[in-house]
Amino acid sequence: MTRIDLSVTAARRALGSLVSMDESDDAIVARYASAVWSHLVEPGDSAAGRLVAGLGAVQALRVIAEAAWTDAVDPRDIVEGCKRWLPRLDQEAIALGLQRADRAGVALITRADPAWPRQLDDLDAHAPLCLWVRGDPAVLRRLQPSVAIVGARAATSYGEHVALELAADLAGGGIPIVSGGAYGIDGAAHRATLRAGGVTVALSAGGVDRAYPAGNADLLDRVAATGAIVSEVPCGSAPTKWRFLQRNRLIAALSTATVVVEAGWRSGSLNTAGHAAALSRPLGAVPGPITSAASAGTHRLLREYGAQCITSAADIRDLLGLSAGPALVADTFNPQTDDSTRVRDALSVRAWRSSPDIARRAGMATEDVEAILGLLDLDGAVTRGAAGWRLAPSAK
């Protein structure tokens, strides 16, 4: 049976500078066990999630590495999981992963750390076992509220413009912006946030030591300089398709609300939206021309997923519950459907008309017309003369 050395000495050696000065021996071993788990599982492995939640990372590792059976967890999780996890239980390979993190100045954040973002617990057994953070881990605790602004890599200039405007407005108002670091909408959201001096967090599908996509390396460096790049897979990990899909669940879970700016009919950002909906996080979608393929996905979200129609940063603040609801609009939908409209309709700016004449033209009682003419007179909307009433030219 594969073994792993869970002594304090081994843990301290493997973690290098990933431990802090004041950590207890037990905490160091627990941190090391979390790091090991991160190397064993693919994101979203609920059997691992249940096992670690039930036993703690150290004991869970002992159970699988030493076949130390326990009644505290469902044995099926152990049997099934071991088949997946044990082939990766390679102490040398794990040490290399930790060295990469150490060299890249990447922090390892576990559930025991104050920086751990509690909103991830909404993922239950699918929550990540730890987070690898390039940048400032403290920003992870400042993401409530925050907004995920995501969308197509193949964005149009319209979509990028909108992402820039929305992110700049929100970030300028102190709301952190979460996204996926990709080309197109994601990149525009990060860039505008940095320009506005705001906090932005990029969730990475692969290891945070690898800039992906490479063309966004400079942008990601700037994200890490003031915010953070975050992943649940260890340094050196490739960004596989599976990890992209699971990364999307972290974007949705970390943010208070998710807004999709542009998305093709089968865009990956619809997957992020699906995670937000599954987590009951508020979901918004920006409409666009129905003739634009890059908006077909956001229109699906409006039609099929009950996403809120987002047309401004104010709409997003509504989504976050940060502003009063929309103003009463009844007046606009029935503009001036009152008698004064009919009296105005019956008046002329040129011809003087008597109140009975106005009443006949308006199809109203003369006494009612006279009452309204009095009010319109006070407003300066009508003029009274010897021959009757006339509409003031400015009131037409």
Interface contacts to its own copies, rule CB under 8 A: 40-42, 45, 80, 83-85, 87-88, 158, 161-162, 240-243, 245, 265-266, 268, 270-271, 273-274, 286-291, 295-296, 299-300, 302-304, 308-312, 315, 326, 329, 332-337, 341-342, 344-346, 356, 359-360, 362-368
For its own copies, give the closer residue by CB, 19 or 125: 125
Which tokens hold the place of 284? 């918004």
For its own copies, give the closer residue by CB, 22 or 304: 304
Do 163 and 192 contact (CB within 8 A), yes or no?
A: yes
Q: Give start and end residues of each alpha helix (H) in the chain.
A: 8-15, 25-40, 46-55, 57-65, 75-85, 91-103, 157-172, 185-195, 217-226, 241-254, 269-278, 296-304, 313-320, 330-333, 339-346, 355-362, 366-378
Smallest distance, its own copies to C-beta of residue 236, A: 13
What letter would DSSP give residue 2?
-
For its own copies, give the closer residue by CB, 190 or 299: 299
Smallest distance, its own copies to C-beta of residue 158, A: 6
CA dihedral 221, 224, 227, 233 (to 10 degrees): 130
Smallest distance, its own copies to C-beta of residue 299, A: 5
For its own copies, give the closer residue by CB, 24 or 332: 332
Q: What is the DSSP string of 253-287?
A: HHSSEEEE----TT-THHHHHHHHHHTT--EEE--
Which tokens hold the place of 69? 């059976």
Smallest distance, its own copies to C-beta of residue 50, A: 16
| Buried/exposed code over 310-344 (b: 16+ C-beta within 10 A; e: otherwise) | beebebbbbbbeeeeeeeeeeeeeeeeeebbebbb
Residue 168, classed as helix, strand or coil, is: helix
For its own copies, give the closer residue by CB, 17 or 336: 336
For its own copies, give the closer residue by CB, 87 or 380: 87
Smallest distance, its own copies to C-beta of residue 177, A: 18
DSSP bridge pairs for 178: 148, 201
Q: Terminus-to-terminus CA distance in the chain, angstroms?
A: 91
Smallest distance, its own copies to C-beta of residue 271, A: 6
Smallest distance, its own copies to C-beta of residue 162, A: 6
Smallest distance, its own copies to C-beta of residue 155, A: 13
What letter would DSSP give residue 114?
T
For its own copies, give the closer residue by CB, 368 or 377: 368
For its own copies, give the closer residue by CB, 115 or 293: 293
Give every CB contact of residue 155 below 8 A, 6+ residues apart in sequence.
Answer: 163, 183, 184, 185, 188, 261, 262, 294
For its own copies, give the closer residue by CB, 60 or 346: 346
Smallest distance, its own copies to C-beta of residue 239, A: 10
From CA 171, how far away is CA 10, in angstroms rounded? 43
